[in-house]
Structure 1
């Protein structure tokens, strides 16, 4: 049985661990957080990604925890409603669609519960270094070679394959392919996501506001007891000193406080949120997603940015395709990685294009419909 180390216990990593386990592999997931991560925005499972979740046996459970929005209001800078819709929201698209929107932490919890048996999880650790051993045709035929992995805390181990599913700022990608700056393309803004009490009293209703170069989307969650706030602002790439997490929080607090409507309460929520997150809106674009026995999955290899609304679907579909190709009878990892990339790349490119189609707004329904179904699960 082949051993596979997956770096990252989020959506992509957990979505891969289950199919690998079910196909006879021995997966280990290493995650630097002390447990499944909490917080995060609502994410969409669209098109063919629904079929992936269905094949896992999790579709009905995902539908049970989906968001239940009734609609949305769009406000001007003073909080006056200028548009409302009971047909669609900016976060999820059409409300009568078969696609579903779930909180990121709910989806991570579903995937972790589904994979905790038969999958080794190493929480509170990360990959510090790795060295690939011989990877020739002869070695592959004899099941030779491997990747020696040094962990930040645990003892070193050797695995047959390593999968980088550790996100936009993948440390494994940096170790194997080089500096992030080669592959990251900034999209002109930053986004923060954080939770708060439902101080607006929203009832399954979203609110969106833009005030110059800053704005937010707010939605109630957990039976309307909490809010998830997505606050964004236009900016070129920040320098290293400004990208420190606490400096980013200070920046968001400052910009939120400058809003004319609800700025004070938004700033307070950002300052106090235990689940505060902020990062650049960026895409990862690479010529190749594998090198030797290491392969990239999800945001680590082809992040489309939250502006596309398709990062979760790319991660789910990528995990399914990679597991399927690795499990082909008689396949070695090089052929599997090549077929994985051949199948996924057109789908990835269409979905990445969604983030660039309409600056400051969502892509057209026609483009989303085409992109979300642009791959067959049965090669």
Structure 2
């Protein structure tokens, strides 16, 4: 089959990998002109590690792991008030997002057709797709793996407001020099309604910084970086620890990203020839720590069902994956509470608690 995938993050290339292995003709369209740099460290847990192993990419991912050794929680003066086990934050394997996308791209660059700097503007019932560039082509299936603000979802299912549920959290992510001198370590500073986190990266040359805060339905322009920076600065006005320094460095970062922490809740992930994958269908929110795992496991199942059960693939994919998604979205809502409280014993215990991330999945191929 000719299958179009929209989205070049994690879910899209992972799906292209499996579809190509099963003999399908996959085309992946990405609106960015190239692989995007920056982004936070993302972790793999449980079944997602099994999927990486089946792809033959587990050892390559291990070669890029961040090798974090500790995560401390500090008060406003910088005094350590708690220490979390590394696996509580970084899972069983932690890799920078740009490294994950690069490994997936290298694993798929020879087979799927990649179309960068373009996007979908219309999808007809017969699979005819119109692109922003003016190109028109017809596909047997169209898969939206284009994230929280999915254009494919909007075209095939309706406005974003029907499906996106803001957890009342907004956050900025960016990369700066390691001005804190962290040594393969992370530091977190929590106060009610605010969380600042800094993680060393690239052999301690860089810091990946997250500044998150609670707020309800902020009105802002998603394309106006200066406005977004001002929102973050206002939210953290008067904050302690090293937050003022991080705010100053934020203004100079080249990879600044800002968005709400939201979940996507849908009764169905497919409509006719169109199906959704990853955050576009079932974002669990960053506070779940499971977005990448869901993307990889979902891509594996969707491709496997298309290959072995083409007449009912979308329904079978959803039936198998939805219990896992339901669990992860519950974790995302819980995390939204624990990450934004004073670091008392109960909070630390919940952040450090081990969780079973193994989900039974079929073997395909």
TM-score (norm 1): 0.89
Q: Does 1:122 align with 2:115?
A: yes
Q: Secondary structure at the match of 2:338?
A: coil
Q: Does 1:112 align with 2:102?
A: no
- Report deviation, 1:243: 7.7
After superposition, the Cα gap between the structure-2 partners of 1:189 and 1:236, relative to the gap in structure 1 and judged at 3 Å, is: same
Q: Secondary structure at the match of 2:180?
A: coil
2:354, 2:319 → 1: CA distance?
Answer: 22
Q: Does 1:368 align with 2:348?
A: no
1:279-318 alignment to 2 at 5 Å?
279-318=259-298
319, 323, 336: which is aligned to 2:313? 336
Q: Which moved more, 1:45-54 or 1:207-216?
A: 207-216
1:50-65 alignment to 2 at 5 Å?
50-65=49-64
Q: Is the 8 A contact 2:171 2:260 kept in 1?
A: yes
Q: Which moved more, 1:256-265 or 1:63-72?
A: 256-265
1:246, 1:52 → 2: CA distance?
Answer: 40
Aligned to 1:136: none
Q: Is the 8 A contact 1:254 1:267 kept in 2?
A: no
Q: Does 1:266 align with 2:266?
A: no
2:36, 2:221 → 1: CA distance?
Answer: 25
Aligned to 2:344: none
After superposition, the Cα gap between the structure-2 partners of 1:240 and 1:44, relative to the gap in structure 1 and judged at 3 Å, is: same
1:296, 1:70 → 2: CA distance?
Answer: 36
Q: How many residues align?
A: 354
1:1-379 alignment to 2 at 5 Å?
2-85=1-84, 87-88=85-86, 90-93=88-91, 99-133=92-126, 147-241=127-221, 244-256=224-236, 258-328=238-308, 331-333=309-311, 335-358=312-335, 359-361=337-339, 368-369=355-356, 372-378=357-363
- Report deviation, 1:154: 4.4
Unaligned segments of structure 1, at least 5 residues: 94-98, 134-146
Cα offsets for 1:327-347 (capped at 9, x unmatched): 01xx335x0001001100111
The alignment's C-alpha RMSD in Å is: 1.8
After superposition, the Cα gap between the structure-2 partners of 1:317 and 1:77, relative to the gap in structure 1 and judged at 3 Å, is: same
2:220, 2:176 → 1: CA distance?
Answer: 28
Q: Is the 8 A contact 1:284 1:300 kept in 2?
A: yes
2:41, 2:17 → 1: CA distance?
Answer: 23
- Report deviation, 1:44: 1.0
Q: Secondary structure at the match of 2:302?
A: helix
Q: Is the 8 A contact 2:145 2:276 kept in 1?
A: yes
1:263, 1:104 → 2: CA distance?
Answer: 24
- Report deviation, 1:251: 1.4
Q: Is the 8 A contact 1:253 1:270 kept in 2?
A: no
2:307, 2:83 → 1: CA distance?
Answer: 48
Structure 1 stretches of 4+ with a deviation exceeding 3 A read 240-246, 253-258, 361-367
Cα offsets for 1:71-100 (capped at 9, x unmatched): 122111222221224x3365215xxxxx20
- Report deviation, 1:195: 0.2
Q: Is the 8 A contact 1:7 1:126 kept in 2?
A: yes
1:240, 1:70 → 2: CA distance?
Answer: 37
- Report deviation, 1:30: 0.5
